Amino acid sequence: MRFIFMIDHLSTWVGKVFAWAILILTFVVSYEVFMRYVMGAPTAWAYDTSYMLYGTLFMMSGAYALAHNAHVRADVVSRYFPPRVQAGLDLALYILFFYPGILALVWFGWDFFALSFRQNEHSSFTPGGPPIYPYKFVIPACAALLAVQGIAEVGRCLICLRYGQWPRRLGDVEEIAIPLNKQDEIKAAESDSGEKRQ
């Protein structure tokens, strides 16, 4: 369990570091709007900077979201299964779909970056655009982080299969259904106590 939490902390740390990109992105877009519409002098670098920042933010937050179970899940039916069945289903999906896709993203993403680096590729959207290979390096980097976080998720599945209940997670993100269930329990308890008083 300690090893799983170490991976969770790594993914959380990376996600929180790259979350600062949203502030830089906000500044860049605000500056571009001000220069374009107030000063009448649009910048040549804001477009490239904004899509690179947004793409980096989006990709590097994937492992964070997986660590906190915050990805959108199609578990409308499976959430009602017993924990062991859920864990078996999740484990099969990680092996059959997650890891082949993530490992392909690492492999081909590295080739994509390496070719860009060898060519000293620059953005073609603006004249004299910035180098684009650092941005392309984000592809294999985020895939590698997802692969590492996937190890923790597979470990959680194995623990659940063995003990019959899901191990706890870092408490940063909570499902919406949990507070709703708690509210329902509170209302049910209040109505029961009200009926007993009568």
pLDDT, tens digit, for every residue of 102-134? 999 999 999 999 999 999 988 888 777 889 999
> Residues 68, 74, 78, 83: what is their CA dihedral angle, to the nearest 10 degrees?
-10
Prediction pTM value: 0.79
pLDDT at 194 over 80: no
CA distances for 65 relative to 54, 78, 149, 156, angstroms:
16, 20, 10, 15
Amino acid 44: pLDDT: 84
Which of 47, 48, 51, 54 has the alpha carbon at shortest distance from 32?
A: 47
pLDDT at 95 over 80: yes
For residue 92 the two structure tokens come to: 């099969």
CA distances for 178 relative to 46, 86, 167, angstroms:
42, 17, 16
11 Cβ contact partners less than 8 Å away, ≥ 6 residues apart: 63, 64, 66, 67, 145, 148, 149, 152
Which of 137, 138, 129 has the alpha carbon at shortest distance from 48?
A: 129
CA distance 141 to 143: 5
Give 113-129 as a DSSP string.
Answer: HHHHHHTT-B-SSSTTP
